[in-house]
Structure 1
Amino acid sequence: MATAGCKSPSLVDRKQESITTADYFGFNSAPTSDVSSTPRGIPALLETGQVWTSAEFADETRFVVNLTEEDKRELDEALEAFKSLCLDGNLVDRSNFPLPRLQQTLGSLAEDIHNGKGFCILRGLEADRYCLEDSMIVFLGIQSYVAERWMRQDEVGNMLVHVTADPSNERLSKHVRHSTDTIPFHTDPDADILGFQTRDVAASGGKFVLASGHSIYNELVRIRPDIISTLAAPDWPFALPYFHQRPILYHHNGRVIFCFTRLALVGNEFYPRPSSIPSISPRQKEALDIINSIAEKNRLEITLQPGDIHFVNNLALLHRRDKFVDDAEHKRHLVRMHLRNEKLGWNIPDELKQFWDVALDEDREESWHIEPMPESFFPLKLGSH
């Protein structure tokens, strides 16, 4: 162990031949209602920084920031400065993790994540540069300059979630977080920004895949505006975290926001929907399938490297993971956090605000597992285990 301790061109500006929905999606997707206009109060077209196609990022230097040796020395110095204060690990912030030079880069990235293309990767920190505890402090310290609020990810207060295969039993292995299968496009619940630390990559596969929700919206405006009405309707029956109904598409405070996970709407063999709650309608299923089809047509596949830290605007972009295979030496392992920047963060729709309030409630208990096993905690109090 070493010392341990841009606005993108809009889809609506692209010249393209008129195509039918059958041509586009590869199946017959005839509209079942009028498609002449978008719903009242919903913008006809988006021209935001989050409107992009994968072709615009063929050159990865457009979204990868390679840390220099000077940057890494500054991070090492910030780590030592924080550790010298003998503070609990979850108290790291800008005031005690000083980055006088790198903070300008991170501030620009925060702006771009919220108001530009919506994602970035910090690359160059070797995966074995720090011990696990120090690695987490550095991860949190960097985050404090991008999105300083940390959000609970479940009812028991987990702040860190380990996205890694778990073959210990069949049910766990089919959970989207712990499976090795391809999963459909989605957003995470209750998060503005997703922060990921890549501890290791798979032996093969496992690419991180993004799609612009705003580009998906513009495609729907062009060929199936009736689907927008379906997405914005308040009758989507979510089973998680408890049964509730709400839209999956919002136009709020001038922003278009997607918020949905397919598992919460349809379940699967190992996580079935309770029979006591309604199922999605055929029209809602069609809408989910069309979203996923457009996302696949415009997907950006990213090959992660050990040590990468990446951030994603969870309100504007959809993401998924490719199928992967681990072996004895390479096991895909991402650490995920849910984040919010109070200055740059988007205004949250009323239908979602209750979930955000719970995730951000500072009076609720927090759990910090720095490894997948529950006995390994990030110390919230000095001397704890």
Structure 2
Amino acid sequence: MPVAQFLSQEYGLTVGTRLIPDPPAGTTLDAVTSASGEKVIASFATPLPKTISTTFAWIGQGPDGLESNPQGWLHTVTEDEVEEVERAADEFIATGKSIGELKREDFRIPNFARVLTSVANVINNELGLFLLRGFPVKKWSRFQSAVVFFGIGAHIGDRLPQNKKGHVLGHVKDLKVDPNAPETRRYMTNARQGFHTDECDVVSLMCLETAPEGGESMVASSTTVYNILQERYPEVVPVLFANWYWDRKGEEAPKQSPYFVAPVITWHKERLISFYVPYFATTTSRHQGVPPLSEEQKLAMQRLEEVCEEVALGMRLEPGDIQFVNNHPIFHDRQAWRDSPQQVRHLFRLWLSTGGWGGWDLPLYGQQPRMGFVGAEPSIPLEAEIGQ
């Protein structure tokens, strides 16, 4: 489907071609205090590099792409590693502790922990993504799978609540809600998401069941996207560095505004940081005082989506896969899918904070742990339920 058609159908956008005549040089991020006293992200002018050279600037396809060179981002677990992970899960379950109490030291995997140290390094310092393949989730109970997922995640970062219900264990599953309703978050639907980031450092998915059709995962380097935009469409770059309004989808904490302000991309401490959720941008004007998206913003969304599709790495997650994506240097997408009565796509999801774990230094936090959603007691549902 053409990008303009996708943006029109999914988000009701008609993309124009009017450009700002005198774009600013660029912006960076810092924290400021709004009139209501809330800490918000703001952008300030700063020189921008024309091209960014880094290991995070990869392409998905071609002989030099990640698809042709999976050794740097894909590890198929061995029988010994599976046995060690299963033993650690059994030992934790035998303690009688709740899964929410599970910490790194509770999941003892001395050999596989070395693999996870390498995984964390690739996520935080090299490519921004990793895939572990081959866990036998079909033979495990739902609870065993959750314990393994929590245990492995505990070696990467701190778990965060993902919605206003406090879900720490999230579920990506079609719950038959309207994907275009203003307060819907699309992980609860089978609709395509479009390239985006999540509101955490690292998002991780454990595949329990795949769909008979569709649902492919797509990941794209935001640095590569930036470099191409600078070369082909330099007029949209300052638009992406300017402040945008983002809808909190009805999940704001007490005294928080129902939206927040942040650029799509920013340059901070020699790294390009991305934040982009298209369906958070297209619904924000429902709030008083928030303007609709400008023609410049609509065009920037189209160009960003086009380049993401061009450079992306596609992967079909299979049962037993665990995927990690660093949201700061990576845009990710999930294609629409179709379930059958016999086969229903279902993935566990974790949001992880890597502040203090060697993760990225961020303007609002530095290396301090990130908070995720606030205002609700942590909840760990083993079955999918509507998060709002």
Q: TM exceeds 0.5? A: yes
Task: Report the AA paired with residue 247 of structure 1.
Answer: P
What displacement does 1:326 show? Answer: 0.6
What displacement does 1:44 show? Answer: 2.5
Asked if 1:157 is matched to 2:157, the reply is no
Distance 1:146 1:327 in 2: 34
> Contact 1:35 / 1:224 at 8 angstroms: preserved in 2?
no
Instruction: Show the counterpart of 1:261.
Output: 277
Instruction: Show the counterpart of 1:71.
Output: 81
Asked if 1:85 is matched to 2:99, the reply is no
CA RMSD for the aligned pairs? 2.9
Task: Report the AA paired with residue 334 of structure 2.
Answer: R
Asked if 1:335 is matched to 2:348, the reply is yes
- Comparing 33-42 with 191-200, which one deviates more in the overlay? 33-42
> Contact 1:37 / 1:226 at 8 angstroms: preserved in 2?
no
Asked if 1:344 is matched to 2:353, the reply is no
Distance 1:121 1:93 in 2: 22
Say which of 255, 267, 292 aligns to 1:251: 267
Instruction: Show the counterpart of 2:35.
Output: none
Once the two structures are superposed, residues 304-362 of structure 1 have per-residue CA deviations (whole angstroms, 9 ceiling, x without a partner) of 10111110011110011112111011111111111022221112223x88x9754287x
Distance 2:285 2:292 in 1: 11
Distance 1:273 1:300 in 2: 35
Distance 2:307 2:155 in 1: 33
Equivalences for residues 87-102 of structure 1 within 5 A: 87-102=97-112
> Contact 1:106 / 1:146 at 8 angstroms: preserved in 2?
yes
Task: Report the AA paired with residue 300 of structure 2.
Answer: A
Say which of 178, 187, 207 aligns to 2:197: 187
What displacement does 1:89 show? Answer: 1.4
Query: What are the ranges of 5 or more consecutive residues in structure 2 without an aligned counterpart?
Result: 1-14, 28-45, 253-257
What displacement does 1:364 show? Answer: 5.8
Instruction: Show the counterpart of 2:119.
Output: 109
Instruction: Show the counterpart of 1:366.
Output: 378
Equivalences for residues 80-229 of structure 1 within 5 A: 80-147=90-157, 149-167=158-176, 175-189=185-199, 191-229=200-238
Q: What SS does the corresponding residue of 2:372 show, helix, strand or coil? A: helix
Q: Which has the higher strand share?
A: 2
Distance 1:174 1:158 in 2: 16
Asked if 1:238 is matched to 2:246, the reply is yes
Equivalences for residues 9-24 of structure 1 within 5 A: none
> Contact 1:206 / 1:322 at 8 angstroms: preserved in 2?
yes
Instruction: Show the counterpart of 1:46.
Output: 52
Distance 1:217 1:77 in 2: 44
What displacement does 1:279 show? Answer: 0.9
Q: What SS does the corresponding residue of 1:359 show, helix, strand or coil? A: coil
> Contact 1:38 / 1:225 at 8 angstroms: preserved in 2?
no
> Contact 2:153 / 2:350 at 8 angstroms: preserved in 1?
no
* TM-score normalised to structure 1 length: 0.80
Query: What are the ranges of 5 or more consecutive residues in structure 1 without an aligned counterpart?
Result: 1-26, 375-385
Distance 1:184 1:170 in 2: 12
Distance 2:369 2:194 in 1: 24
> Contact 1:53 / 1:212 at 8 angstroms: preserved in 2?
yes
Q: What SS does the corresponding residue of 1:245 show, helix, strand or coil? A: strand
Asked if 1:305 is matched to 2:305, the reply is no
Instruction: Show the counterpart of 1:58.
Output: 67
Task: Report the AA paired with residue 286 of structure 2.
Answer: R
Distance 1:102 1:36 in 2: 48
Asked if 1:289 is matched to 2:295, the reply is no
Q: What SS does the corresponding residue of 2:92 show, helix, strand or coil? A: helix
Distance 1:186 1:266 in 2: 13
> Contact 1:250 / 1:349 at 8 angstroms: preserved in 2?
no
What displacement does 1:265 show? Answer: 0.8
Q: What SS does the corresponding residue of 1:54 show, helix, strand or coil? A: coil
Task: Report the AA paired with residue 65 of structure 1.
Answer: H
Once the two structures are superposed, residues 234-291 of structure 1 have per-residue CA deviations (whole angstroms, 9 ceiling, x without a partner) of 2x12222522322121212222111121111113xxx983465311111111111111
- Comparing 127-136 with 100-109, which one deviates more in the overlay? 127-136
Distance 1:197 1:278 in 2: 38
> Contact 1:197 / 1:336 at 8 angstroms: preserved in 2?
yes
> Contact 1:36 / 1:225 at 8 angstroms: preserved in 2?
no
Distance 2:17 2:307 in 1: 13
> Contact 1:198 / 1:309 at 8 angstroms: preserved in 2?
yes
Aligned residue pairs, count? 340
